[in-house]
Chain A
Amino acid sequence: MLTGIDIGGTNTDIAVLGEEFIAHKIPHGVSLSQILKHHKVSGRVGVSTSQPLNMLVTGTGLRVLLITIPGPGLAPQGVAVGGCIDHRGELVEDLEMHQVHEAISSGNPEAIAVCGKFSVRNPVLEDAVAETARKYVSPDRVATSHPIGFLDFPARCAMVKANASILRTVLGITQEVRQVSPGFLYFKGDGGLAQPTVIHGNPGLLLNSSPAAVALGVRYLTGISEGLIIDIGGTTTDLVPLSGGSPLMKTLIIEGRDTLVPSVASTSLPYGGDSVIVGNSLIPKRQGNARAFSGDLPTLTDALNLAGHRIGDSARSSVPAGTSAMQVIDWYVDTLVAMIQTIDPEMLIGTGFLSPFLIPRIASRSGVPCIVPEHASSANALGVAVSRVSLSLAVHADSEKKRMTVNGQVYPYPGKAGPDLIEWAVDETRALATAAGASPADVRDVELVSFSTYDVVRGGVRHERITDLVVQIPPGITSEAP
């Protein structure tokens, strides 16, 4: 049995896929623990959440101090402290710990992010700063950059700052879900599942998971490989292009800075079923539910009811005096059609609760054929349910230093270099994925993404070798999906 839980800004959706398909939609305001008390989840449980992203977008995250250990190089971001790890992971300048204390004392932060250059080759300085930081703020408000795992100091700075802001929320969600499902997995922005311990090192992996979830859900429901998913939610409408059966990938931008974290490409329109009506159009704002769902202010959902649909408690729906419900709907449809025309898709695939009421109208107006699959309103949760464990291991091994890091974490050096290390990395990937709950069929194919190895020569003598490689189990639909 596969269970997907999608904690959105408006609803929490649960999809259970076993001998039959069961879906639940729980409105905003009900806590996760209450939901899980009433809806027993079983089998493998995947959880996606837009809460961390919403915190960042709405600016309700914590006030974060970014402490950097830039060493020699380009002008640093954040508050820089002395100390240096070089490209080989060697400690070549000691940490100026008094500067760390000064930075925190004068910054009075709510959370602290730590980013050292080349920390993914040796995290010792980042760990030392973090240890000190935890004396000033609680441990769930301190994040380090090395678990992000790749070379790019500015990108890690951007990501770790977000991580420090959202870590506490993510730990809270983990605690709640674990009470009912100890072995649950998180659904990432790239469309794969990962263990909570992986996510706690880099909670930014959760960001923007909604487009990935809906893309997987649509692929499972329809098998359509070319088209444009239009996912109509309460707060936003997201457009997710599909090409060759997969969504397009990009990297995640936070506060205008590229984090290099892989994420499904989508375009978001700031209007959805709960957007408030003003005049004959909508404002990009959600102020509670639609009137049809016990809210106070008339929304797009209420306009649909006045146009003849029966959504929720349609008798409660109304629109402001002087407003034409049809003109509100036309305004939304036209806004969306203008965006669709810039993408020029072969087909529209509607998902989300309101899609059966709006997608045919959008298709007719844009001249593009459409489909609203069965279970369209649960496509996101379904996508989470059918996803599989995905894992990427970036290995850097220095046989001279007898040092190895995997995704920025120090690993015992396995005594292998060059091509011999590939086999080790493949086995390790399989072991980690299996430990996370992946089925044997899902770990069969491990891709070698990149490999390079070269000699370290000193004094005209070949000393040892440095090897870099990346292996992965890419995201996709689990072989366990019925």
Chain B
Amino acid sequence: MTTAIVFCESYFLHEQAPTHPERRERLQYTWDQLLEEGLLRDPRIRLVHPYPAPPEAVGAVHEGSYLDFLERASLKGGVIDGDTNVPPGLLHRALLAAGGAMAAADEVLAGSVTNAFAMVRPPGHHAGIRGGGGFCYLNNVAIMTRYLQRKGMERVLILDWDAHHGNGTEEIFYQDPSVLFISIHQSPLYPGTGHLSSMGTGAGKGYTVNLPVPPGSSDEVYYYLMESVIVPLAHRFHPDVIAVSAGQDNHFTDPLTSLALTASGYAGLMARAVALAGDLCGGRLIAVLEGGYSVEAALPYTNLGMIAAMAGMDFSGIREPAAYLWMYEEASDPGALQEVRQKVAVLKEQLHSKWGAF
């Protein structure tokens, strides 16, 4: 397998404020790790430069009035919400992130790689049709999804495993049966949406699947959800391509969340998604970076684990250094799995009329 990594040093430059959680440091240590691993010279990896998303691609997802606001605010600065301001020059950097996801899609569509990882900043999955929020401005994965559809990939499965619910992505595709949106997210947590009962509307009913998980959920919870919900639904939906909103704030050291995924678990989860893509859609899978704020203890290892799994490399040695393991004991809750099992039972009943028994 060959994996494209979409990245350029411009992705370091976006900064809402020097001390904001979504800052340059998020990718700097990961980049150091990738360089030290020699990953970018590996024949299984192809480094791809992004391009700014063109207006028609962005306009296929966001309303013109919101894009006008972003353009104006990008001149002198502006505010979206308490966590999200618009620094001068933002729009170009946001377009470059969305275009990074499109460049990843280009590589996969052209068949030059099996799958691709758009390692972009700023993230996108909280950005809805009419506005941004939660550190997000343009919905990168949604812009890429519409682009893929215009290129003939009619059915897209979006798997969003960021710790926060992808409310923007959900809104964009809530009525759309061509996109199956599945989100695993911590509950309760920002933005407070993503309830089990939110399943889409109109023709899109049953095409939004929310899997809220309690604090302390660790690898076993994610693996369970993959096996009991995501894989069977994906087989019924039969996508042409799988998109992953690959947040990494579900790691046990993340300062903004309370989940307990490990770097090894992250690689394992991606390996399962890659296998699913292999079974259903010729391996076509595009991961787009979302959140993740444990800049030192998690991101170098989770990003590496994810890329290794995508490229079919041996990821058995990818883990956090021992110095951080005490935090896992504090973060993980063995009782989380039981709670999730009960929720899944309810979910299956709710989805029965659409998808049958699974």
Chain A positions near chain B (C-beta within 8 angstroms): 70-76, 84, 86-88, 90, 92-93, 117-118, 151-155, 258, 452, 454-457, 460-462, 466
Given contacts A74-B37, A153-B36, contact A454 B317 (CB under 8 A): no
Q: How far is the CA of A462 from the CA of B320 in the complex (A)?
A: 25
For the complex, is B118 an interface residue (Cβ under 8 Å from A)? no
For the complex, is B322 an interface residue (Cβ under 8 Å from A)? yes
A155 touches B38 (CB 8 A): yes
A87 touches B318 (CB 8 A): no
Write out the residue numbers on chain A whose beta carbons fall within 8 Å of the beta carbon of B300.
Answer: 86-87
Q: How far is the CA of A118 from the CA of B23 in the complex (A)?
A: 23
For the complex, is B25 an interface residue (Cβ under 8 Å from A)? yes
Write out the residue numbers on chain A whose beta carbons fall within 8 Å of the beta carbon of B315.
Answer: 74
Give chain B's interface residue range (CB within 8 Å of chain A): 35 or more
Write out the residue numbers on chain A whose beta carbons fall within 8 Å of the beta carbon of B28.
Answer: 454, 466
Write out the residue numbers on chain A whose beta carbons fall within 8 Å of the beta carbon of B263.
Answer: 72
Our pick among A74, A258, A457 for the contact of B313 (Cβ within 8 Å) is A74
Given contacts A73-B37, A87-B33, contact A457 B23 (CB under 8 A): yes
Write out the residue numbers on chain B whose beta carbons fall within 8 Å of the beta carbon of A87.
Answer: 29, 32-33, 36, 296, 300
Write out the residue numbers on chain A whose beta carbons fall within 8 Å of the beta carbon of B314.
Answer: 74-75
A154 touches B38 (CB 8 A): yes
B323 touches A74 (CB 8 A): no
- B295-351 contacts to A, CB under 8 A, are 296, 300-301, 304, 308, 313-324
B317 touches A76 (CB 8 A): yes
For the complex, is B41 an interface residue (Cβ under 8 Å from A)? yes
Our pick among B9, B18, B32, B318 for the contact of A72 (Cβ within 8 Å) is B318
Write out the residue numbers on chain B whose beta carbons fall within 8 Å of the beta carbon of A153.
Answer: 36-38
Q: How far is the CA of A93 from the CA of B29 in the complex (A)?
A: 18
Q: How far is the CA of A152 from the CA of B38 in the complex (A)?
A: 5
**Residue of B29, B296, B301 with most chain A CB atoms under a 10 A cut-off:** B296
For the complex, is B223 an interface residue (Cβ under 8 Å from A)? no
Write the B145-183 contact mask toward A (1 if CB under 8 angstroms, else 0): 000000000000000000000000000000000000000
Q: Which residue of B lies closest to A82 (CB)?
A: B322
A455 touches B317 (CB 8 A): no
Our pick among A74, A76, A84, A454 for the contact of B25 (Cβ within 8 Å) is A454
Instruction: Report 24 cross-chain contacts, Cβ distance below 8 Å, ordered by A residue.
Output: A71-B321, A72-B318, A72-B320, A73-B37, A74-B37, A74-B314, A75-B313, A75-B316, A86-B296, A86-B300, A87-B29, A87-B33, A87-B296, A87-B300, A88-B29, A92-B324, A118-B36, A152-B36, A153-B37, A454-B12, A455-B18, A455-B19, A457-B18, A457-B19
For the complex, is B24 an interface residue (Cβ under 8 Å from A)? yes
Q: How far is the CA of A72 from the CA of B317 in the complex (A)?
A: 6
Write out the residue numbers on chain A whose beta carbons fall within 8 Å of the beta carbon of B320.
Answer: 72
Write out the residue numbers on chain A whose beta carbons fall within 8 Å of the beta carbon of B19.
Answer: 455, 457, 460-462
Min C-beta distance of B251 to chain A, whole Å: 13
Q: Which residue of A lies closest to B41 (CB)?
A: A258
**Interface secondary structure of B, over-half rule:** helix
Min C-beta distance of B248 to chain A, whole Å: 15
**Residue of A72, A75, A88 with most chain B CB atoms under a 10 A cut-off:** A72
Min C-beta distance of B10 to chain A, whole Å: 12
For the complex, is B60 an interface residue (Cβ under 8 Å from A)? no
Q: Which residue of A lies closest to B301 (CB)?
A: A72
Write out the residue numbers on chain A whose beta carbons fall within 8 Å of the beta carbon of B296.
Answer: 86-88
For the complex, is B79 an interface residue (Cβ under 8 Å from A)? no
Write out the residue numbers on chain A whose beta carbons fall within 8 Å of the beta carbon of B313.
Answer: 74-75
For the complex, is B281 an interface residue (Cβ under 8 Å from A)? no
Our pick among B24, B35, B318, B322 for the contact of A74 (Cβ within 8 Å) is B318
Q: How far is the CA of A462 from the CA of B17 in the complex (A)?
A: 11
Write out the residue numbers on chain B whose beta carbons fall within 8 Å of the beta carbon of A71.
Answer: 321
For the complex, is B39 an interface residue (Cβ under 8 Å from A)? yes
Q: How far is the CA of A361 from the CA of B134 in the complex (A)?
A: 73
Seed contacts A74-B37, A84-B322; 7 additional CB < 8 Å A-B pairs: A70-B317, A74-B318, A75-B316, A87-B32, A151-B35, A153-B37, A452-B9
Min C-beta distance of B214 to chain A, whole Å: 26
Q: How far is the CA of A161 from the CA of B133 in the complex (A)?
A: 51
Q: How far is the CA of A258 from the CA of B32 in the complex (A)?
A: 19
Q: Which residue of B lies closest to A460 (CB)?
A: B19
Q: Which residue of A lies closest to B315 (CB)?
A: A74
Min C-beta distance of B255 to chain A, whole Å: 8
Write out the residue numbers on chain B whose beta carbons fall within 8 Å of the beta carbon of A461.
Answer: 19
Write out the residue numbers on chain B whose beta carbons fall within 8 Å of the beta carbon of A155.
Answer: 38, 41
Min C-beta distance of B136 to chain A, whole Å: 20
B32 touches A151 (CB 8 A): yes
A73 touches B304 (CB 8 A): yes
A152 touches B323 (CB 8 A): no
Given contacts A73-B304, A87-B33, A152-B35, contact A456 B25 (CB under 8 A): yes
Given contacts A72-B321, A461-B19, contact A454 B36 (CB under 8 A): no
Write out the residue numbers on chain A whose beta carbons fall within 8 Å of the beta carbon of B308.
Answer: 74
Q: How far is the CA of A223 from the CA of B95 in the complex (A)?
A: 48
Q: How far is the CA of A154 from the CA of B318 in the complex (A)?
A: 16
Write the B208-219 contact mask toward A (1 if CB under 8 angstroms, else 0): 000000000000
Q: How far is the CA of A153 from the CA of B42 in the complex (A)?
A: 12
B321 touches A93 (CB 8 A): yes
